[in-house]
Amino acid sequence: MKTVWRVFVYLKRYPWLALATLACAITGTLTVIIFPAVTKRIIDEVVREHHPERLMPLVGLAALGFLLQYGMNALRLWFNNTFEQKVIFDLRSDLYSHIQLLPLRWFDNRATGDLMTRIIEDVSSVERVLKLSRAGSH
């Protein structure tokens, strides 16, 4: 949880990408109800009440629902990937800028391999948090 709060500063830099991702996730989730509703109408109106002329418009509505759902999912993934890459880039840029400003004596007692491992693992843990947020919104 500590990682999430540390990364939150970077997330606030891109509010429109975050809102677009959230809007696409909500819209895509809401479109899930279209297909069952259309199926119910097909059974009730076309099959039970014998109105075959209503079948094609309802099938078109169901297809539109599927297209909308998967279109919103594709947009959500695109927005989220862009958002994630921008945050990771900013995090790495700030991290390397900070390391370059440290005094040389700070590096004397630390092995270079240990520093690089720590940096890579910290950025990777942030990346995992961002990927979990993407995976959780399917």
| Residuewise pLDDT in 10s, the chain (138 residues) | 666 677 778 788 999 998 999 999 999 999 999 999 999 999 999 999 999 999 999 999 999 999 999 999 999 999 998 998 898 888 888 888 888 888 888 778 777 777 777 777 766 776 666 665 555 555
Q: What pLDDT is stored for residue 64 in this prediction?
A: 95
Q: What is the pLDDT of residue 136?
A: 53
Model-level pTM?
0.71
Domains, the chain, ranges and CATH? Answer: 2-135 (1.20.1560.10)
**3-state SS, one letter per residue, for the chain:** CHHHHHHHHHHCCCHHHHHHHHHHHHHHHHHHHHHHHHHHHHHHHHHHCCCHHHHHHHHHHHHHHHHHHHHHHHHHHHHHHHHHHHHHHHHHHHHHHHHHHCCHHHHHCCCHHHHHHHHHHHHHHHHHHHHHHHHCCC
